C-alpha cells in the first residue's frame, strides 16, 4: 500500500497516494465504505443491537487518518495547480462523507445502548454483540441512572415500591428491551431458506425480494448476511 | 441525545441521497486528473474527452465547477420512463425501476439538466410515475396482516415514505393477535 507520507518525502512535490495495483479492489467485492453503509442501515432499522463491526471500523478509521494526513501535507504546498487542487478537495470531501457515516453508525448504537442499558446488564447474549467500550458505557449509564432515580425519588418510597425491575401483571415490565416483533423492510441479497410464520404460511425469499415482516423472523438471516434492512 | 428524535424511527431523505450518490456514473471529463486512491477505491485517470466512471457525488461536484459533462443513465430517458409508466398503469404490480431512481434522478435533474434531453418531459413522467406508484402502495395497506407483506420492486424513497405508517399498522396487528392468543390459553 503506497503510503502518502512515504511518497511525499521521496518526491520534491508531494502527491496523493496513487493507486498501487496491490490495493486494487475487485468489483464484485464490496468496498469497506459500502460494507459500512450496509451495517449502518441495518443498525438504523433493526430494533435490536446488532453485532459490533470493530475490525471494519478500525480499518476505515485508519484509512481516514491516512487520507487526512495526505491532504494536510498537500495543503502546505502553495504551488499546487488547479487540477491538483480539485483532487485534494475530492479526497477531503470523501473523508467527510465517510466520517459522517461512521459517526451516525456509532451514535445509533449509542442510542440503543442507553435505551436498553438495564436490559444489557442482565442479559449475556446481547453483551456478546457489544465492544468492550460499549459494555462499559452501558454499565456506567445503568448505574448512574439507577443512582439518580434512587436519590431523587425511590429512597422516599416504601420498600415494596422502590425497585426498578418489577414485572407487574397487566403492565409492561419496567426494563425496556428490544421489541423483536417490530416490522422491518428486508431485501434478500441471495436466495434464502424458507421462513415459517405460522402453521399455514411460509415464505421463500428469492434474491432481490423485498418484504415487510416482523424482525424476529429474519433475525437469523440478517446475522448470516443473507438479507439487509432497507 | 445520542441520536436526535427525528432520526430514530427512520432514515431521512438527505441520508438516502448520500447513499445513492455512492453509485457510479459515466462522465466526460473536461479536466485531466491522475488516478487517485480514495477510501472507496481507486478512480481515474480522467483524460478529456475519454469517458470515465466515477461515483455520483464526485461527478456532481465536478459538474458544479463545470469540469465535466454527466452522461445520463439509460433509464433517465423519455422512452424508458414512458414504457414504465404504461406498465405501471396497465399492470397490477410495480414496474421495475432502479432501486434508487428517485434520489438519482432528482440530483441529476438539479445539477446536470443541460446534459439531459427533454428534461421537462422527463420531469412530468417522473411525477406521473411517482403518483401512480404511490396510489398502488396505498392500496397495499389493505393487505397488511400480522405475517408478511411483499413489496418487491418498490424503491428506497417509496419504502421510506410508507415506512412509519406501515410499520406502526403491522406492529399493532401483531400485538392484537398475540393478546388474542394468550387469552385463548387462559
The verdict on a CB contact (< 8 Å) between A86 and B156 is no
Instruction: Give the lowest-confidence range in A110-114, A205-209, B83-87, B96-100.
Output: A205-209
What mean pLDDT, rounded, does chain B reach?
90
The pLDDT tens digits of the residues spanning B144-181 come to 877 788 888 999 999 999 999 999 999 888 888 876 66
Cα–Cα dist B17/B157, whole Å: 9
Measure the CA angle with vertex B146, ends A176 and A49; round to 5°. 35
At residue A171, does pLDDT exceed 50? Answer: yes
Instruction: Give the lowest-confidence range in A158-167, B29-38, B148-157.
Output: A158-167
The verdict on a CB contact (< 8 Å) between A181 and B62 is no
| Class of residue A210 by CB neighbours under 10 A (exposed 0-12, middle 13-18, buried 19+) | buried
Whether B31 and chain A come into contact, CB under 8 Å, resolves to: yes
Residue A19 cell numbers, joined: 493507486
- Give the per-residue pLDDT at B5: 85
Cα–Cα dist B76/B23, whole Å: 15
The pLDDT tens digits of the residues spanning A107-141 come to 999 999 999 999 999 999 999 999 999 999 999 99
- Residue A111 exposure: Cα atoms within 13 Å on the Cβ side: 21
The verdict on a CB contact (< 8 Å) between A89 and B41 is no
At residue A168, does pLDDT exceed 60? Answer: yes
Report the pLDDT averaged over residues A60-81. Answer: 87
Distance set, CA A79 to CA A14, A204, B174, B180 (Å): 11, 61, 65, 75
Query: What is the CATH number that goes with domain A179-230?
Result: 3.40.5.60
Report the pLDDT averaged over residues A16-41. Answer: 66
Closest C-alpha among B16, B19, B20, B50 to residue B33: B50
The verdict on a CB contact (< 8 Å) between B40 and A45 is no
> What CATH number does domain A4-16+30-115 carry, 1.20.58.1030, 1.10.3720.10, 1.10.510.10, 3.30.9.90?
1.20.58.1030
- Give the per-residue pLDDT at B1: 65
Whether B22 and chain A come into contact, CB under 8 Å, resolves to: yes
Residue A24 cell numbers, joined: 486494487
At residue A16, does pLDDT exceed 80? Answer: no
Q: What does pTM read for this prediction? A: 0.87
| Class of residue B105 by CB neighbours under 10 A (exposed 0-12, middle 13-18, buried 19+) | buried
Report the pLDDT averaged over residues A165-178. Answer: 82
Cα–Cα dist B174/B105, whole Å: 37
The verdict on a CB contact (< 8 Å) between B147 and A94 is no
Residue with cell 400485538: B175
Residue A189 cell numbers, joined: 441479497
Chain A from 68 to 107: CB within 8 A of any B CB: 82-83, 86-87, 89-91, 93-95, 97-98, 100-101, 104, 107
Cα–Cα dist B49/B2, whole Å: 47
Cα–Cα dist B34/B173, whole Å: 57
Selecting from A17, A94, A214 the residue whose C-beta is nearest the C-beta of B174 gives A214
> Mutate which of A45, A90, A209, A227 to disrupt the B interface (most B C-beta within 10 Å)?
A90
User: What is the full DSSP assignment across B73-121?
Assistant: -TTSSHHHHHHHHHHHHHSSS-----TTHHHHHHHHHHH-GGGSSSHHH
Higher pLDDT, B31 or A1: B31
Domains of chain B: 5-185 (1.20.58.1020)
Q: What is the ipTM of this complex?
A: 0.91
Closest C-alpha among A115, A14, A17 to residue A65: A17
Q: Under a CB-based contact definition with an 8 Å cutoff, are residues B162 and B130 in contact?
A: no
Buried b (16+ CB within 10 A) or exposed e, B26-55: ebebebebeebbbbbbbbbebeeeeebebb
Whether B149 and chain A come into contact, CB under 8 Å, resolves to: yes
Selecting from B3, B31, B170 the residue whose C-beta is nearest the C-beta of A183 gives B170
Whether B151 and chain A come into contact, CB under 8 Å, resolves to: yes
The verdict on a CB contact (< 8 Å) between A19 and B42 is yes
What mean pLDDT, rounded, does chain A reach?
84
Whether B89 and chain A come into contact, CB under 8 Å, resolves to: no
Cα–Cα dist B138/B135, whole Å: 5
Whether B62 and chain A come into contact, CB under 8 Å, resolves to: yes
Residue with cell 502553495: A78
At residue A151, does pLDDT exceed 80? Answer: yes
For chain A, the domains span: 4-16+30-115, 179-230
Q: For residue A25, list chain B residues with Cβ-Cβ distance below 8 A.
A: 41-42
Q: For residue B63, list chain A residues with Cβ-Cβ distance below 8 A.
A: none
Peptide bond into B50 cis (omega under 30): no
Amino acid at each position: 500500500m503506497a503510503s502518502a507520507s512515504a511518497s511525499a518525502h521521496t518526491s520534491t512535490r508531494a502527491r496523493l497516494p496513487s493507486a498501487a495495483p496491490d490495493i486494487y479492489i475487485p468489483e464484485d467485492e464490496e468496498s469497506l465504505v459500502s460494507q459500512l453503509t450496509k451495517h449502518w442501515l441495518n443498525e438504523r432499522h433493526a430494533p435490536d443491537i446488532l453485532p459490533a463491526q470493530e475490525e471494519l471500523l478500525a480499518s476505515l478509521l485508519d484509512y481516514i487518518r491516512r487520507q487526512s494526513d495526505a491532504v494536510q501535507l498537500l495543503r502546505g504546498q502553495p504551488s499546487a495547480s488547479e487540477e491538483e487542487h480539485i483532487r485534494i478537495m475530492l479526497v477531503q470531501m470523501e473523508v467527510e462523507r465517510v466520517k459522517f457515516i461512521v459517526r451516525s453508525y456509532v451514535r445509533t448504537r449509542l442510542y440503543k445502548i442507553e435505551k436498553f442499558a438495564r436490559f444489557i446488564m442482565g442479559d449475556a447474549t446481547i453483551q456478546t454483540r457489544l465492544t468492550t467500550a460499549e459494555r462499559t458505557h452501558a454499565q456506567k449509564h445503568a448505574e448512574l441512572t439507577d443512582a439518580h432515580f434512587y436519590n431523587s425519588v425511590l429512597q422516599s418510597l416504601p420498600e415494596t415500591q422502590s425497585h426498578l425491575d418489577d414485572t407487574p401483571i397487566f403492565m409492561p415490565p419496567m426494563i425496556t428491551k428490544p421489541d423483536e416483533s417490530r416490522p422491518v423492510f428486508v431485501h434478500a441479497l441471495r436466495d434464502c431458506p424458507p421462513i415459517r410464520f405460522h402453521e399455514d404460511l411460509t415464505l421463500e425469499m428469492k434474491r432481490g425480494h423485498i418484504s415487510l415482516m416482523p424482525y424476529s423472523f429474519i433475525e437469523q438471516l440478517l446475522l448470516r448476511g443473507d438479507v439487509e434492512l432497507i | 441525545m445520542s441520536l436526535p428524535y427525528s432520526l430514530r424511527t427512520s432514515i431521512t431523505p438527505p441520508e438516502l441521497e448520500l447513499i445513492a450518490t455512492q453509485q457510479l456514473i459515466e462522465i466526460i471529463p473536461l479536466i485531466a486528473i491522475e488516478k487517485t486512491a480514495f477510501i472507496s477505491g481507486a478512480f481515474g485517470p480522467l483524460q478529456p474527452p475519454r469517458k470515465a466512471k466515477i461515483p455520483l457525488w464526485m461527478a456532481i461536484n465536478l459538474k458544479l465547477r463545470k469540469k465535466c459533462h454527466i452522461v445520463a443513465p439509460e433509464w433517465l430517458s423519455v422512452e424508458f420512463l414512458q414504457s414504465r409508466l404504461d406498465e405501471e398503469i396497465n399492470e397490477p404490480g410495480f414496474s421495475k425501476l432502479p432501486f434508487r431512481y428517485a434520489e438519482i434522478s432528482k440530483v441529476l435533474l438539479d445539477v446536470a439538466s443541460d446534459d439531459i434531453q427533454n428534461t421537462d418531459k422527463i420531469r412530468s413522467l417522473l411525477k406521473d410515475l411517482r403518483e401512480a406508484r404511490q396510489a398502488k402502495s396505498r392500496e397495499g395497506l389493505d393487505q397488511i396482516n400480522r405475517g408478511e407483506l411483499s413489496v418487491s420492486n418498490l424503491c428506497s424513497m417509496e419504502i421510506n415514505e410508507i415506512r412509519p405508517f406501515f410499520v406502526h399498522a403491522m406492529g399493532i396487528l401483531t400485538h392484537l393477535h398475540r393478546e388474542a392468543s394468550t387469552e385463548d390459553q387462559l
